[in-house]
């Protein structure tokens, strides 16, 4: 399983470059608008040996793991908050979020800073690949072999030459928030009710 993945991966990288070349040729010939229309640009990253993608428009930047501050009373997958140039941004361990086995931070670990609507959140991932151009017509609805716990957060699966990429639904991922719903009921709520 492991070996095959890496094998596929290397080839696909090369293939992807071919796609890019083709795109470059295309854009020279006609205008870039066609390219934009037909392809979706996604940031590809590895999580638990699988390739995932996030729409590039939702990605603000990618940083190396930095020191973070633990926030009490948050869901277990919330690592804490970081300081990104004066902004306080929560960081989510995407492995834990999807219920995969936790993996300690290593040299490849990266945090993808997401800016989606009014949300600003960082996702800790195993490794960043690169920006892929996924042909829109190749994107298919979520296949049944996607684990149930993450199915909800998957927008679709993009088929690239010899490689597939699971595209994440950011909206759905962020919607639930990271605060722990209090068991005791916060006192403030009680006051409001009374």
Minimum separation from the CB atom of position 176 to another protein (A): 9
In angstroms, what CA-CA distances link 40 with 24, 81, 174?
Answer: 15, 30, 21
Contacts of 116 (CB under 8 A, 6+ apart): 58, 170, 171, 174
Closest CA to 41 of 28, 30, 32, 31: 32
Question: Site for another protein (CB under 8 A): which residue of 66, 130, 143, 149?
Answer: 66
- Position 108 contacts another protein (CB under 8 A): no
Which x/- pattern, by CB under 8 A, does the window 14-53 give for another protein?
----------------------------------------
Closest CA to 179 of 73, 76, 96: 73
Residue 69 carries which DSSP code? B
Q: CA nearest 126: which of 43, 49, 42? A: 49
**Positions in 86-105 near another protein (CB under 8 A):** 86-90, 104-105
At 130 the three-state DSSP class reads: strand
Instruction: Please select the residue that binds another protein; options are 13, 23, 46, 71, rule is CB under 8 A.
Output: 71
Our finding on whether 191 is near another protein (CB under 8 A) is: yes
DSSP reduced 3-state for 75: coil
Note whether 188 binds another protein by CB under 8 A: yes
- Applying CB under 8 A, among 49, 69, 143, 161 the residue interacting with another protein is 69
**182 belongs to the binding site for another protein (CB under 8 A):** yes
Q: By the criterion CB under 8 A, which residues form the site for another protein? A: 65-74, 78, 80-83, 86-90, 104-106, 109, 118-121, 174, 177-180, 182, 184, 186-188, 191, 194
């Amino acid at each position: 399983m492991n070996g095959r993945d890496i094998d596929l991966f290397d080839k696909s990288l090369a293939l992807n470059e071919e796609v890019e070349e083709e795109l470059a040729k295309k854009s020279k010939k006609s205008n870039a608008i066609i390219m934009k229309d037909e392809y979706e640009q996604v940031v590809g990253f590895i999580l638990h040996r699988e390739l995932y993608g996030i729409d590039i428009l939702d990605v603000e930047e990618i940083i190396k793991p930095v020191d973070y501050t633990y926030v009490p009373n948050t869901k277990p997958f919330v690592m804490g908050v970081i300081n990104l140039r004066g902004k306080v941004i929560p960081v989510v361990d995407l492995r834990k979020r999807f219920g995969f086995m936790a993996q300690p931070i290593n040299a490849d670990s990266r945090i993808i800073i997401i800016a989606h609507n009014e949300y600003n959140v960082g996702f800790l991932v195993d490794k960043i690949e690169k920006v892929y151009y996924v042909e829109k017509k190749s994107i298919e609805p979520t296949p049944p072999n996607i684990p149930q716990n993450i199915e909800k957060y998957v927008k679709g699966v993009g088929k690239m030459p010899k490689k597939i990429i699971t595209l994440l639904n950011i909206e759905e991922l962020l919607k639930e928030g990271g605060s722990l719903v209090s068991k005791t009921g916060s006192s403030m709520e009680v006051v409001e009710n009374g």
